[in-house]
Amino acid sequence: MITFLELLANGISVGTVYALIALGFVIIFKATEVLNFAHASLLLVGGFIIAKLHASVGFWLALLIGIAGAALVGALIEFLVIRRANVASHSVLAIATIGIDIVLTTELTREIGADVLALGDPWRDQVLHLGAVSIAQTRVAALVVATVLITAFLLAFKYTNWGIAMRATAEDSETAALMGVRRGRVSMGAWAIAGALAAVAALFLCVFPTPGLDRSTTFAAMKAFPAAILGGLDSTTGALVGGLIIGVTEALMSGYQNDMVFLGRGIGDVAPFLVMIVILLIRPAGLFGTRELARV
């Protein structure tokens, strides 16, 4: 039972980090209908800035600069590529983001080399004990930060002008433009926010249970894809739920690996994708996604 609770706690806290990444996908998808494969490199940008600066300017300032830097790179991608591309389908733009990702990741991994860069966070390797269950403080911090951020965005979508403009754009971008919504500003804002979220996620992916930032940090972004999809690509609630489902599934499947040998060992990594496929079979637009009504 203790093991189960511990795995569950772990799963939930990792899940919230996945949710942060998935939220980035969702925001970009809502605003521009682009599936952003360059998200992994945004993570790397944010993490890299924090890792390089924390020794000289202190952790909190480094974090701020990292967030700003990743947001800037996100906005630049939107401004230089997404806005200018005039293509037949959004699949092509998705592939273009793969190109961006390759360029950024190659250059950053060249900079990082073989090093494992510590991020200099204040939580170090301290652990919080709740009865018999112990959980890393970094994970508690992740949980709190992610919850606050996700709630803030849910409210922002509902009540701020920017949120309304964005929802209008997602609904019908031409009509929104006619109503005076600046599409460019909305989509650039979305990319910048996704970048900022990626930097925050990078922080929590590279602290305590993992030793630091290195070239393989980008793989974590891969796990957020099923999270975003199974929640529904255009739903912020979906991102949260999807992230939690993926995190918990992964933790439980890895933890109980020995009881599931018949599935092959190492099933923990594949499980998120299996769950996603099952959910897509039942609900093709994900759990909370908007169903397309056109049926012919």
Partner 1 sequence: MGIPRSPARRIAAIALLALAVASCASEKATGGAPAASAVGGDGVKTGPGVTADTITLGLMTDLTGPYASFGKSLTQAQQLYFEQINTAGGVCGRKLETIVRDHGYDVQKAVAAYTEIGPKSVALAHVVGSPMVNALKQRIEADQMLTIPMAWATGLLGSKPIQVTATTYDIDMINGVDFLVKEKGIKSGDKIGHLYFEGDYGESALNGSKYAAEKLGLTVVEQKIKATDQDMSAQVAAFKAEDVKAILVSVGPKQTASLVGVSLAKGMDVPFVGSNSAYSPQLLPTPAGPALLKDFYYMTGGAPISSDQPAMKKLAADYAAKYPGVEIDSGVSAGYSAAGIVVDALKKACESKDLTRAGVVAAHRSQSAWGEAFGTSMDFTTFDKPASLLSYVAKPDKAALGGSVIYREAAASDLAKEYQVPVG
Partner 2 sequence: MSRRTLLWSAVLLAAAVIAPFYLEGFWLQAGLFAMSAAVGAIGINLLTGATGQLSMGHAFFLAIGAYAYVYFASEPGQGGGHALAGLGLPTPVAAILAVVVAGVAGGVFSPIAGRLKGAYLGIATLALVFLGQHLLFNVEPVTGGFNGRAVPPMELFGLVFADSPALVVAQVPFGALERLWFLGLAVVVCAGLFARGVLRGRPGRAMNTIRDHEIAAGVMGVPVARYRAGVFVLSSMYGGLAGVLIALVFQRTVPEYFGLLLSLDYLAMIIIGGLGSVAGAVIGAVFISMLPQLLTRYSDALPLVAEPGSGGVSPAEAARILYGAAVVVIVLFLPGGLFGLAGRLRLPLGRRAAPVLATKTPSPDTRN
Q: Which residues, 165 to 224, sit near partner 2 by CB under 8 A?
A: 222
The answer to whether the CB of 219 falls within 8 A of the CB of 102 is: no
Closest distance of CB 203 from partner 1, Å:
14
DSSP, collapsed to helix, strand or coil, labels residue 259 as helix
Rg (CA), the chain: 19
Contact call for residue 251 and partner 1 (CB under 8 A): yes
Choose the stretch contacting partner 1; rule: CB under 8 A; options: 19-27, 58-66, 145-153, 261-269.
261-269
Cβ neighbour number for residue 97 with a 10 Å cutoff: 20
The answer to whether the CB of 257 falls within 8 A of the CB of 267 is: yes
DSSP, collapsed to helix, strand or coil, labels residue 129 as strand
Q: Which residues, 3 to 22, sit near partner 1 by CB under 8 A?
A: 3, 6-7, 10-11, 14
- For partner 1, how many residues bind (rule: CB under 8 A)? 46
Contact call for residue 129 and partner 2 (CB under 8 A): no
Distance CA 251, CA 104 (A): 30
Closest distance of CB 94 from partner 2, Å:
6
Helices (H), the chain: 2-32, 39-57, 59-77, 90-112, 137-159, 161-171, 173-178, 183-206, 219-231, 236-255, 271-282
96 touches, from partner 1, partner 2, none (C-beta below 5 to 8 Å by class): partner 2
Please say whether the dihedral angle defined by the alpha carbons of residues 280, 282, 283 and 287, taken in this order, is positive or negative. Answer: negative
Closest distance of CB 3 from partner 1, Å:
4
Phi, psi of 295 (to 5 degrees): -130, 125
Contact call for residue 293 and partner 2 (CB under 8 A): no
Q: Which of 147, 211, 277, 278 binds partner 1 (CB under 8 A)?
A: 211
Tokens 């202190």 locate to 58
Q: Which residues, 69 to 88, sit near partner 2 by CB under 8 A?
A: 81, 84-88
Closest distance of CB 227 from partner 1, Å:
16
Q: Which of 88, 258, 293, 294 binds partner 1 (CB under 8 A)?
A: 258
Q: Which residues, 251 to 290, sit near partner 2 by CB under 8 A?
A: 264-267, 269-270, 273-274, 276-277, 280-281, 284-286
For β-strands 133-136 and 127-130, DSSP reports them as antiparallel
Residues forming contacts to partner 2 in the complex (CB under 8 A) are 29, 35, 81, 84-96, 98-103, 106-107, 110, 222, 225-226, 228-229, 233, 264-267, 269-270, 273-274, 276-277, 280-281, 284-286, 294, 296
